[in-house]
Structure 1
Amino acid sequence: MRAYTLLLPLLMLVVGNTALAQDGSLRERLRERMQNRQADKQATETRSPTSALPAGTHTLSLQHAGAQRTYIVHIPRSLPANQAAPLLVALHGGGGNMRFQADDENYGLITKSEQAGFIAVFPNGYSRMPGGGLATWNAGNCCAQARDKGSDDVGFIRALLADVQQRVAVDPQRIYATGMSNGGMMAHRLACEATDLFAAIASVAGTDNTRSCKPSRPIPVLIIHARNDDHVLYEGGAGDKAFKDKSQVTDFTSVPETARRWMQRNQCSASAPAEITLQVQGARCERHVAACANSAVVEVCTTETGGHSWPGAGKVRRGKEGASQALSANDRMWDFFQSVGRKE
């Protein structure tokens, strides 16, 4: 018995070392545990699927495709109690995260949510970082790890909307999507693959780079893009100065081609002239309305300056140039969503 007692610690050590050899080093396991704890700290509030959300901003998480995915939701204080509200999904740019997109100093969408009375949802893209940083979206041909790993981001957005609708009253006929850059590209993919959920989309500085697109119905699309964008070039391609590693992106579709594709999908008449809906110094909006099926209009707003940015944004700067102030992307897109109405 004494010999067994002496051998037991040795046997446990051998077994333990074998397990570590199979599962990785203890240091790696401890690092993973620390990363998981840090990720948990990013969630300032996690509620069960049946809990109601009060007014304010909340960070939530859910399990999808074997991974924990997170999102921020803002419930406007101006929203009347028990009234089903419109909802806007706002997708961050490539290399960003939900917190950056939700920061009111960057994009002002929280303020717009309060003014217009819509629920604002900021999902976090695919990320290998513990805090969800440097995230990207699988928008088809772009971008980076989300694309290369085949991240099911359409499925994640579907699960997210189902999760939100268990927590707060949402008008299912007035759910919209927008996004910046890679997030705008993801909005195009949602219009292609989740038309059963979204009434309309608005893409800022992001063109259609889907690999296939067969929407179940025509869907209104707003495209906002700067003519001098040096990341996602207006006439197509990726800017040389913006992307050092072109393998992380793609040869971006041009703005005119993106508009042409949506006009074709929405069965708009290509021969009819576009209607000018905004003409100010530094910006012009044209809406294709003629013979579009189900009134699924396609509108393109072009700013002359601002580069790769969110028009009307104050703090965010990419390169030397600030965002164009010729129009407000927030105001323009919400007016567009209101004008195209509800999902048919």
Structure 2
Amino acid sequence: MTVPPGDRRSSRRSVARRHRNPRWVPVTAAAGAILIIIGLVLYFGGDDPGLQTRVGQSAGAGGADGAGPAGTAAGTPGATGARPTAPSPTAPSGCVTGRTIAAGSSRQSVQVGADTRTYQLAVPAVDAGARALPLVLAFHAFGEAPAALERYAHLAAIGTRTGYVVVTPDGVNGRWNFPRRATIGPDDVAFVAALIGDLGTRMCLDSRRVFATGLADGADMAVTAACELPGIFAAVMPVAFAVLPASCSGPAPSLLAINGTSDPVTPLEGGGADRPAPFEGTQAQPMQARLDRYAGFVGCGPASAWMRDTTALRRLVFTSCPAGRDVGLLASVGGGHVWPDPDADPPKGAARAQFSATEVAFAFFRGHPTPAPATPVPSTAAPPPR
């Protein structure tokens, strides 16, 4: 959905200051349920005496941001759970060839049929030859450019500092073809597949740690790509997304949605104004019904009761998900149609978020790689007679 002008502006604080020592750190649980530690206060006073204990109890699955060895990367022959991150029948993985891309930010392009598509690439300053790197795709909102998303979300700045490759693709005419209609534009799912596949031949990417996020229309594109490219994404975190495809190819990745309870564009109860052409007929679907369907794609059980962690945050978590997968929702009480951040300028009349969606994203991604395949149990049956 369109983000109203001014509703996603960042504070004037620098990234280094804002994220230098965050005291409100979301954590994912080792056992699978999404546990966000809420008794934390970001920058504005108050300490939670039980914080360190709960963080220690809950952080087990997340581990460090460092990736595994290059041998676990996309396309590496013989790697445990290895698979190409996107169809690439001829070009070998960068983990095999040793190809790397220099650290830093650069404009890149990839050929998708007759079209040349572009994106912003940010590569961390790490020894890329020594390990496979995780990848995050971040999709901008309607009418934006990648630079606009980076100004308020700082995904590349924060992600590269912790070892992630961050890609911010360009939508044609500032929009995404998440409804998959020819009248809207080119096939953006094909663009995403080509981008990941091409990048995987030029550097060493970890196939178990490919993630997606985005705001508004960008969130819808992230979810659409995750559904239409099975086995590619490990987890997706849509902020203010509106629609879910009618079907989602399995295995569906983990999903943590974020939405403001006072969002007039993508209200939790669904509805809102219909979209103009070429997006006509695209209204926000009721959030819980959407997540119920998605949880079914993942294989989860029903949602637990709503939990209110603080006056500013409610949480909905689905039960009995397959090992290593989660589905849930963080609802920012009073929040509007905006990328949540305690320093962002919220929409008029909306409450200022008291958590950083960017910090939540990387904590969620860190704790949700694609589950490793089960180790086959050796058969104890006697061999057949010769």
Per-residue CA distance 1:182-226 (angstroms, 9 max, x = gap):
01011111121112211111100113342x323121321110000
Question: What are structure 1's unaligned runs of at least 5 residues?
Answer: 1-48, 128-134
CA contact (8 A) 2:306 2:316 kept: yes
Please give the per-residue CA displacement for 1:134-157, whole angstroms capped at 9, x wherever unaligned.
x1111127xxxx762452111100
Q: Could you say which residue in structure 1 is the equivalent of 2:52?
A: none
In the alignment, is the contact (CA less than 8 A) between 1:222 and 1:298 conserved in 2? yes
Equivalent residue letter for 2:313: A
Pair 1:298–1:343, CA change in 2 (3 A): same
Aligned to 1:119: 165
Partner of 1:207: 242
Q: By how many angstroms is 1:168 displaced? A: 2.1
1:281 partnered with 2:329: no
The residue type paired with residue 329 of structure 1 is A
Identify the residue that residue 38 of structure 1 maps to in structure 2.
none
Matched residue count: 274
Distance in 2 (CA, whole Å) between partners of 1:140 and 1:294 is 31
Q: How does 1:113-262 map to 2 (within 5 A)?
A: 113-127=159-173, 135-140=174-179, 148-149=183-184, 151-210=186-245, 212-239=246-273, 245=276, 248-249=279-280, 250-262=282-294
Conservation of the 8 A alpha-carbon contact between 1:209 and 1:252: no
Alpha-carbon distance between aligned partners in 2 of 1:116 and 1:156, rounded to the nearest angstrom:
26
5+ long unaligned stretches in structure 2: 1-93, 373-386
Supply the distance in 2 between the matched residues of 1:247 and 1:315 (Cα, whole angstroms): 31
CA contact (8 A) 2:324 2:370 kept: no
Aligned-partner Cα distance in 1 for 2:353–2:248: 35
Q: Does the 8 Å CA contact 1:309/1:322 hold for their aligned counterparts?
A: no
User: Aligned to 1:166, what secondary structure does the other structure show?
Assistant: helix
| Deviation at residue 239 of structure 1 after TM alignment | 4.0
In structure 2, C-alpha distance between the alignment counterparts of 1:316 and 1:69, rounded to whole Å: 32
Give the whole-Å Cα distance in 2 for the aligned partners of 1:116 and 1:238: 38
Cα distance in structure 2, aligned partners of 1:63 and 1:321 = 44
Greater helix fraction, Structure 1 or Structure 2: 1
The equivalent of 2:143 in structure 1 is 95
Pairing of 1:250-329 with structure 2 (within 5 A): 250-270=282-302, 273-274=304-305, 276=307, 279-288=309-318, 290-312=319-341, 314=343, 319-320=347-348, 324-329=352-357
C-alpha distance in 2, partners of 1:224/1:193? Answer: 21
| Alpha carbons of structure 1 residues 147 and 298: separation in structure 2 relative to 1, 3 Å | farther
Who is 1:72 aligned against? 120
Q: Is the 8 A contact 1:59 1:73 kept in 2?
A: yes
Contact 1:189-1:213 within 8 A present in 2 as well: no
For residues 265-312 of structure 1, give each alpha carbon's deviation from its aligned partner in whole angstroms, at most 9, with x where no partner exists. 122222x62585x82331122321x22234421110000123110011
Q: Which structure 2 residues correspond to residues 20-59 of structure 1 after superposition, within 5 A?
A: 52-59=100-107
TM-score (normalised: structure 2): 0.65
Q: Per-residue displacement from partner, 1:82-137 (whole Å, max 9, x unpaired)?
A: 12111100001111122222x3x32111222133211100001122xxxxxxx111
Q: CA RMSD in A?
A: 2.6
Q: Distance in 2 between matches of 1:287 and 1:257?
A: 13
Kept in 2, the 8 Å contact 1:89–1:177? The answer is yes
Which whole-Å CA distance do the structure 2 matches of 1:323 and 1:157 have between them? Answer: 34
The sequence identity of aligned pairs, in percent, is 27
**Whole-Å separation in 2 of the counterparts to 1:148 and 1:323:** 37
SS at match of 1:90: strand
Asked if structure 2 preserves the Cα contact closer than 8 Å seen for 1:233 and 1:239, the reply is no
Corresponding residue number in structure 2 for 1:338: 366
**One-letter amino acid of the structure 2 residue matched with residue 273 of structure 1:** S
Aligned equivalents of 1:118, 1:335: Cα separation in 2? 12
| Counterpart AA for 1:332 | V
Distance 1:115 1:294 in 2: 29
Identify which of structures 1 and 2 has the higher relative contact order when contacts are C-alpha pairs closer than 8 Å and 6+ apart.
2
Change (3 A) 1:321 1:93: farther
Deviation digits for residues 225-263 of structure 1, max 9, x if unmatched?
A: 0011111222112348xx6x4763512212112211111
Contact 2:261 2:331 in 1 (8 A): yes
Find the structure with the greater CA-based Rg: 1
* Structure 2 CA distance for partners of 1:265 and 1:81, relative to 1, 3 Å: closer
Distance in 2 between the 1:116 and 1:287 partners? Answer: 27
C-alpha separation in 2, matches of 1:54 and 1:172: 20
Structure 1: distance between partners of 2:204 and 2:315: 33
